[in-house]
Structure 1
C-alpha cells in the first residue's frame, strides 16, 4: 500500500500537465476504496470470529490479520491527508512562487 502511495505522490510532484481535477479524482478514488474496504472487512470480522475457534491453529492467523489490517487502515487514512497537503503546498508555491 505504501508503494502505491509513493508512486501516487511521485506522479503528483512530477506535474506533467496533470490537471487539478484529475488529482482530486485520484484522491477521491483512494478515499472511496478505503471506505469500501473497511465496510467489507468489518462485515467479515464477525464471521471469522464465529467460524474460527480460539483453540484452532488459525486463531493466531485471524488475530494477526485483524491487527495488520487495522494498522494498514490507520496508515492508509493518513495518505489522502498528505496528498491534500501536498496539493495545497503546490498551489501556494505556484501562486506565490512566480512560476513562469
Structure 2
C-alpha cells in the first residue's frame, strides 16, 4: 500500500507482532514523492519511525523494524549521527507536533 493513502489511526506493530501504537501522521513531501516516515502515538508519547524503519504498509496495519522503546522521540534537534533523511523526518515530526492546529 502507498503512504499516500495510509490513514491516521492505523495500528502499528513491530516485527514480532507486538503493538507499537497508532499512526498519528504520515510525514512526506508529496510533491517530491519522498516518504520521510511516520509519527506514531504510543502509550509513552510520540515516536518517529523513519521511512527506512517501516517494513510494510497495509490497510489495517503497519509493520516497523523496531519496538516502540527503540524508536526516536521527536525533538527540535535531531541527535547527531542520524542519516540525513531520518534527521529531516525527526525535525518534520517535531514541527508537526508543535504546529498550532
TM bracket, shorter-chain basis: under 0.3
TM-score, structure 1 normalization? 0.26
* Bigger Rg over Cα: 1
Structure with more of its chain in strand, by fraction: 2
